[in-house]
Amino acid sequence: MAQEGVAYDDVLKTAQDLGYAEADPAADVEGFDAADKIAILTGLAFGGPVDRDSIPTQGINNLQSRDVDYATQLGYRVKLLAIAERLNSDAQTSQSLPLAVRVQPTMIPLDHPLAGVNGVNNAILVEGDPIGRVMFYGPGAGSGPTASAVVADILNIAGIRQLGEINGSLDPLLAASSWRSCHLVDPSAILQRNYVRFNAEDTPGVIGRIGSCFGDRGISIQSIVQFDASETGAEIVVITHEISQGQMQDALTAITSMAEVKGVAAHLSCL
């Protein structure tokens, strides 16, 4: 969609014809597969299981070419990300580790390593202290990569069974379900930057009033741009600095109640 300007439905059909997408692509395009994976990775990374069904999940099935084009003009790429991060907490007073986990289309700056993950390739980006940023990258679709992953799983299972036969039981680290209690924070507490595209009337002062609605709720705006002004209206694109999603929803409720604003046409996260 980004490189050739092709519509979503056409790209999906091509991916299915090439064997990269299933006949029923819901697991991939609606984010369910990514949510399964981030649930597993979250347990491995933070030491405790999380409720898979409670992970906010948004796929790319409603992504519009217009927003992919605007992202390019603004210096971003759009990718489907599954994110898990530990929120600040006092380990001495909290018995459960608060985690912000979600799956959603995300605008990524062009200089970010994930912006260069294209085609059938997947990537896992890990950020920590003191290791910094590490990325694991490789093909994630097609007959070869899929067969390799299946064989790797078989060998892992065989190795675990053999270890159990030698020791009389499974390795304690493999058998342990978790060593830490973790919980998902309320989605309204998740902190992130936001891209929002509004459909609005092309009238004087509408951008200022939208900006005031954000400012009244303590939301700092990185940029606000008007696209495609015409007799039928205008599209106003706003990118915010990092805020809670509770603040964001409050602002969107106020803005969409304005007579000049026809509605929210798109809402994506930003790195």
Catalytic residues: 37
Helix (H, G, I), strand (E, B) or coil at 260: coil
Are 271 and 107 spatial neighbours (Cβ–Cβ below 8 Å)? yes
Structure-block tokens of residue 174: 């493999």
Helix (H, G, I), strand (E, B) or coil at 235: strand
Are 117 and 137 spatial neighbours (Cβ–Cβ below 8 Å)? yes
Q: What b/e readout covers 191-208, taking b as 16+ CB neighbours within 10 angstroms?
A: ebbbbbbbbbebeeebbe
Helix (H, G, I), strand (E, B) or coil at 264: strand
Structure-block tokens of residue 190: 């998740």
Q: What b/e readout covers 60-83, taking b as 16+ CB neighbours within 10 angstroms?
A: beebeeebbebbeebebbbbbbbb
> What is the DSSP annotation of 190-222?
-EEEEEEEEEE---TTHHHHHHHHHHHTTPPEE
The DSSP bridge partners found for residue 49 are none
CA 85 to each of CA 52, 138, 144, 220: distance values in angstroms, whole numbers, following the listed order = 15, 23, 32, 22
